[in-house]
Amino acid sequence: MLIPLLLGITFITFALAKALPGDPVYSMVGERASPEIIEKIRNELGAGKSIFRQYGGYLLLLSQGELGRSYYTNRKVAEDILTKAPQTFKLAFMAMLIAVPAGLLLGLASALSRRHWVDRTISGLVISGMSLPVFWSGLMLMFLLSLKLKLLPPSGTGGLQYVLLPAMTLALPALSSLARVTRIAVLDSRDMPYIRTARAKGLQEVRIIAAHVMRNALIPVVTVIGLDFGSYLSGAVLTETIFGWDGIGRFAMEGIIKRDYPVIMGCILVSTLSFVIINMLVDMLYQYLDPRLRIR
């Protein structure tokens, strides 16, 4: 399924990119290039060929394991993506490292204290976290943690010190949706007959929550984690731009703005691939979490 899916994605992206108005050559050559040079560059980029021939050429390139070269920098897109992918992975992983435990804890706390002020406070925070756009929450975190408290550097790509701020920004919507899903899943499973059975067996409340309530609540939670992680691996465009993080999202954004088609195509292809792989892993995890889904 993977190959037809990727082929379909390449075709749709290619067609959409070519259908957009604008000509990358005008941005490449500055203000005063001669018409001959503009034409020469257009020919070198293959802009004069039919879209099908251009697409065929791109597929040929892919079959050789290449993603082409950037129109602007002439660097290999695959090499650029390989240097940026670990950064994006680091950011996505760190964001999930913050979001998952925090989201689960908040969701659980909210469910266990239903209708208590704690539940209402957490629900309010969760709705805010889901509604706030990252460019606002990111700048607010930067203002607070960098400018006022001087705890973290505002921007840059690097180790823990640099990744925390963008990771927290990304984690905010993720932990909010996780907390919400966890709360609902815990509340749902808490009323199930097997919980009453566990309680009748005299099990301790902590054990019931950990082994029975949470385990059964994990299926929707894992789905949300998978979707969020997959989308972060595709690059968090705004977060990476605000914090100057050198990842795939920022790379893709710059490609889109400059109409750098090989960069756009390469980023979308890699993003799709990582999204599909994450979803496959999530599917495999379902079978582990829920024995009913195992293929016999």
Partner 1 sequence: MNPCRPVVFTARSFALIFVLGLALIPGLSCSPQNRPKGQAIYRLNADPTTLDPAYIVDVTGGAIAAKLFNGLVRLDPELRVIPDIARTWEIQDGGGTYVFHLRDDVSFSNGRVVTAEDFRYSFERLLSPKGRSPNTWVLDKMLGAKAYIQGSADHIRGVEVLDPHTLRIRLERPFAPFLQLLTMTAAFVVPRETVERLGSDFAVHPLGTGPFVLTEWKHNTELVLLGNPSYYSGKPPMSSIRYRIIPEDLTAVTEFELSNIDVIGVPAYEYSRFRSSDRWKGLLSSSQGINTYYIGFNCARPPFDNPELRKAVAAAIDRETILRTFYEGRGRLASGPVPDILRHWPAPVLPAYDPVRARALVLSSADRHPVINFYVNPDQEVVDIAEIIQWYLAKAGIQVRIRQLEWSAYKAAINNGEADMFWLSWWADYPDPENFLFPLFHSSNHGAGGNRSRYTNREVDRLIESGQRAADVRERNQYYMKAEHIIAGEMPWVFMWHKTDFTLRQPYLKNYHMYPIYSIDKGTEVSF
Nearer to partner 1, 114 or 227 (CB): 114
Sole binder of partner 1 in the list 5, 7, 18, 22 (CB under 8 A): 22
In whole angstroms, the minimum distance from the beta carbon of 161 to partner 1 comes to 5
- Written as six digits, the tokens of 88 are 């994006």
Q: How many CB atoms lie within 10 A of CB 94?
A: 19
> What is the rounded CA–CA span in Å between residue 227 and residue 4?
21
In whole angstroms, the minimum distance from the beta carbon of 5 to partner 1 comes to 29
> What is the rounded CA–CA span in Å between residue 66 and residue 58?
9
Which of 2-10, 29-37, 271-279, 284-292 is the region at the interface with partner 1 (rule: CB under 8 A)?
29-37
Classified as helix, coil or strand, 69 is: strand
Which of 50-58, 137-145, 177-185, 286-294 is the region at the interface with partner 1 (rule: CB under 8 A)?
137-145
Binding of partner 1 by 246 (CB under 8 A):
yes
Classified as helix, coil or strand, 76 is: strand
The answer to whether the beta carbons of residues 287 and 295 sit under 8 Å apart is yes
Binding of partner 1 by 27 (CB under 8 A):
yes
> What is the rounded CA–CA span in Å between residue 274 and residue 226?
11
Binding mask 83-122 for partner 1 (x = CB under 8 A): xx------------------------x--xxx-x-x----
> What is the rounded CA–CA span in Å between residue 241 and residue 40?
33
Binding of partner 1 by 215 (CB under 8 A):
no
> What is the rounded CA–CA span in Å between residue 110 and residue 90?
30
In whole angstroms, the minimum distance from the beta carbon of 164 to partner 1 comes to 7
Binding mask 172-211 for partner 1 (x = CB under 8 A): ------------------x----xx--x-----x------
Sole binder of partner 1 in the list 229, 250, 261, 269 (CB under 8 A): 250
Helix (H) or strand (E) holding 99: helix 77-112
Binding of partner 1 by 76 (CB under 8 A):
no
What is the total residue count of the chain? Answer: 296
Whole-number Cα distances in Å, 252 to 80, 222, 264: 11, 28, 6
Which residues sit at the interface with partner 1, rule CB under 8 A? 20-24, 26-38, 40-41, 44, 72-75, 80, 83-84, 109, 112-114, 116, 118, 139, 142-143, 145-147, 150-157, 160-161, 164, 190, 195-196, 199, 205, 241-244, 246, 250-251, 254, 257-259
